[in-house]
A and B are shown apart, each in its own frame.
Chain A
Amino acid sequence: MKLLRFLMLLVLIIGAFSWSATASDRQKSKAEKKAAKQTKAETLPVTTSSAAAARYFANGMVQYENHRWNLALNDWHEAINLDPKFALAYTWICLTTTDPAEESSNRAQAKATMKDASPGEQLMVRWMAGIHENNYVEGISAMNDLLAMYPRDKRLNFLIAYWLYRQDQYDLAEKLILKALAEDQAYATAYNQLAYIYSRRSDYPKAIEAAGKYVKLLPDQPNPHDSYAEMLRLSGRFEEALVHYRMALKIDPTFYISQKELGETYALMGDGERSRLEYGKAIHEAPSNGLKAEYLQKSAMTYLRDKQYDLADKAFLDAAEQAYAMEQWVWEARAHRIMAMYQPDSATAMKELDRAEAILKARKGFVAQTDLDEEKARIWRVRVERERSLAAAHKDLDALEEMANSGGSVSIARTYHGAAGTLLVAQDNFSEAIPHLEEDFANPLSMKVLLTAYEKSGANEQANTLRKKLRAWRIPGIEEALVVPDLRSQDGAVVSQK
């Protein structure tokens, strides 16, 4: 049997299943024809004992490149049903799913089945396992070994670039994307990636240009229009962004992300009522309860921008109840934590935080520990900010620091630094606060406190740059809603809440 399986695997490896050119039912674009020129030896093999599973896997990769995550996951689920020893399919489920339990069980399967896969695939499993198990050095090392093994695999370059981008490694990500484009100048998804890299550097003209190329290559797909719209929105061109979000929805009315983005865009434009209308449609269209719970809170946030706090309370309580009904416990806790963030009265805020923490405590063991810990860290940060005595705030901060030091995620570490910096600013210790706050570099609340620290310590150049960035911040979120509109209306006058 072993020999038989080995022979079957060998046939499939050598056969045709390099991952970039196997889906026979795909549209044969110029890009794909060119991609086919890459020889088998230049692309990562895909080892499976089932030809049908290989087709599902390949189709899932195409869906992934088009950012249709849920469709990609569906294909990979089919693939592992057909071949329960399909290590690469398990790996890609882990790299894509937002469900921690699914990630964990598939990671175990990927590791258990990797011995039958090719050396390149084994490196991919090691990369995924390393970065998901806080073993970054081994994971990154495997990732670069894999790249060295298949330097001309455009898809591999793209996928790794995408991961590096998410680690804020924009220079390295750009290098790999340009390598992918050198292999295939019509590799559409690479332009999408490039647009996001440029946008992170606030180079919006280049971001819009790259997203424009993405649209040109795939005019009948919704995601290119969605990305193009986002680049327009980031550069402040809201009306044009709305046009392209609508175009994405016209192409595919089920493309719920663009529906949500319409809500986001109106929210940023200050049109709360229209925003809630669009979010309402997105909630209806959302394919999972987790997304529904998230969008409900986005809708509630619009009342905060309008400073309608009573309505915000009502909307967040409703969002919490619905999250409870959908068994989205972290989102339920989050609604209470957010309520604590804007309550004028500290005692009320602390009650909401107690409630949020109690929800998490009751669900220990039912929700992935990482998710519980990350939300708990955020709750503790708000505690640090809302405590009425420094001693109590320090106690909360010590607990948060302990969590960050005991192998917590990057997100927990940033939350700790944001809290530590805020507390130091409250004590007028600006020089020590600055490096902490700089760690929490993408959180408008921390950025606002950092602005104060820069100003108070005479770092005028940094203060001016940061103020400019904050005022131009167009990424919707609770921290943004609490900070940016006020900052704009105060015309730069920033006062620390502490």
Chain B
Amino acid sequence: MKMLGTLCLLGALLAPATCLARDVAVITQKDNAFSAINSADLQKLLKTDAPKWPDGSKVVVILGDPGSVESRFLLEKVFKVAPSEMTAFLEGHKDTILVLRSDDLVLKAVAGRPGSIGVVNVYSINSAVKVLRVDGKLPLEQGYLLHGN
């Protein structure tokens, strides 16, 4: 029996994929006062040696595996770093970017570290973190910046 089509009235558009859409969530600690960030501010976070939130508090960026779709999205789309430059880029930002192995670890690290910001697949998020709006939009909303195939 169709695992897919039975639940869709006109389900042809949800058929098997040739490539997959992915939305990356920018997360922060639940108690963080900020609920939104714009892409320009997000970009600035790594362009300075000591990135700070608009209120002056320090920011630590936490990424999953640099080869993961989520990390590549952030680095390519926001920081305009080419895939070939990623290793050098991360090496040069050791103090401000923490690299972990998986979404689960990123979620735990962000939840327990005030002022941190992380990126994960939106389907991995939980209530221990807050998902930030980027340029006014949440993941899975039409026109969200960190969406791609």
Docked-complex contact A166 and B124, CB < 8 angstroms: no
Partner of B1, one of A165, A223, A443: A223
Residue of A227, A404, A475 near B16 (CB, 8 A) is A475
Question: Could you tell me the distance between the alpha carbons of A199 and B4 in the complex, rounded to whole angstroms?
Answer: 12
A405 in contact with B142 (CB, 8 Å): yes
B6 within 8 A of A: yes
Q: A442 near B139 (CB under 8 angstroms)?
A: no
Q: Is the CB of A478 within 8 A of B126?
A: no
Is the CB of A236 closer than 8 A to any CB of chain B?
no
**CB distance B140 to A477 under 8 Å?**
no
Q: Of residues 1 to 20 in B, which have CB atoms within 8 Å of A's CB atoms?
A: 1-4, 6-10, 12-20
Tell me, rounded to whole Å, the shortest Cβ–Cβ distance linking B10 to chain A.
6
Q: What is the CB-to-nearest-CB distance from A127 to chain B, in angstroms, rounded to a whole number?
A: 11
- Which residues does chain B contribute within 8 Å of A447, judged by CB atoms? 18
Q: Which of B1, B12, B139 contacts A137 (CB 8 A)?
A: B139
In the assembled complex, B75 has its CB within 8 A of some CB on chain A: no
Query: Chain B interface: which size bin?
Result: 35 or more
Residue of B nearest to A466 (CB): B18
Q: How many angstroms between the C-alpha atoms of A257 and B25 in the bound complex?
A: 38
Expressed in whole angstroms, the Cα–Cα distance for A226 and B3 within the complex equals 11
Instruction: Digitize A439-471: 1 where CB-to-B-CB distance is under 8 Å, 0 elsewhere.
Output: 111110001000000000000000000100100
Contact A438 B13, beta carbon cutoff 8 Å: no
Bits for A152-174, please: 1 = Cβ < 8 Å to B, else 0: 00000000001011111110100
**Contact A67 B125, CB 8 Å, known A478-B12, A479-B12:** no
B84 within 8 A of A: no
A168 to B21, Cβ gap below 8 A?
yes
Residue of A98, A137, A469 near B18 (CB, 8 A) is A469
A142–B127 alpha-carbon span in the complex (Å) = 7
The answer to whether B125 and A140 touch across the interface, beta carbons within 8 angstroms, is yes
Asked if A107 lies at the interface with its beta carbon under 8 angstroms from chain B, I say: no
- Alpha-carbon separation in the docked complex, A442 to B15 (Å): 6
B57-72 CB contacts (< 8 Å) to partner A: none
Q: Are B18 and A165 closer than 8 Å at their CB atoms?
A: no
CA distance A196 to B21 in the complex (A): 18
Q: Tell whether B122 is near chain A: CB-to-CB under 8 Å.
A: yes
**Segment with Cβ contacts to B, from A4-12, A339-347, A353-361, A408-416:** A408-416
Report whether B1 and A226 are in contact in the complex, using a CB–CB cutoff of 8 Å: yes
Contact yes or no, A475 B15, CB < 8 A? yes
Interface string of B16-38 (1 = CB under 8 A from A): 11111100010000000000000
- Given contact pairs A137-B140, A371-B9, A438 touches B2 in the complex (Cβ within 8 A): no
Contact of B3 among A142, A192, A440 (CB under 8 A): A192
Is there contact, CB below 8 Å, between A145 and B13? no
Q: Which residues of A contact B131 (CB under 8 A)?
A: 137, 141
Q: Contacts of A404 on B, CB cut-off 8 Å? A: 142
Interface secondary structure of B, over-half rule:
loop
Which residues from A are CB-within-8-Å of B25?
137
Chain A residue with minimal CB distance to B128? A145
Cβ A408 vs Cβ B142 within 8 A: yes
Residue contact B14 to A137, C-beta cutoff 8 Å: no
Which residue of A136, A164, A226, A257 contacts B139 across the interface (Cβ within 8 Å)?
A136
- What A residues does B142 contact at CB under 8 A? 404-405, 407-408, 413
> Counting CB contacts under 8 A, is B143 at the interface?
yes
Indicate if A26 sits at the interface (CB-CB under 8 A): no
CB proximity of A50 to chain B, nearest CB, Å: 28
- The docked-state distance in angstroms from the alpha carbon of A447 to that of B103 is 32
What residues of chain A lie closer than 8 Å to B124, measured between beta carbons?
144, 172
- In the assembled complex, B48 has its CB within 8 A of some CB on chain A: no
B118-149 interface mask toward A, CB cutoff 8 Å, 1 = contact, 0 = none? 00011111110001000000111111000011
A122 to B46, CA, bound (A): 40
Q: Which of A98, A137, A227 contacts B6 (CB 8 A)?
A: A98
- Which parts of A387-446 form the interface with B (CB within 8 Å)? 404-405, 407-408, 410-411, 413-415, 435, 438-443
A230 at the interface (CB under 8 A from B): yes
- Chain A positions within 8 Å of B, measured between CB atoms, are 67, 69, 96, 98, 100, 136-137, 140-142, 144-145, 148, 162, 164-170, 172, 192-193, 196, 199-200, 223, 226-227, 230, 257-258, 290, 330, 334, 371, 374-375, 378, 404-405, 407-408, 410-411, 413-415, 435, 438-443, 447, 466, 469, 475, 477-479
The 29 listed contacts between A and B (C-beta, < 8 Å) are A98-B6, A98-B8, A100-B9, A137-B25, A137-B125, A137-B138, A140-B123, A141-B125, A145-B127, A168-B17, A168-B20, A227-B3, A230-B2, A257-B2, A257-B6, A290-B9, A330-B10, A371-B10, A407-B142, A411-B10, A415-B13, A435-B148, A438-B19, A440-B13, A442-B15, A443-B13, A447-B18, A475-B15, A478-B12
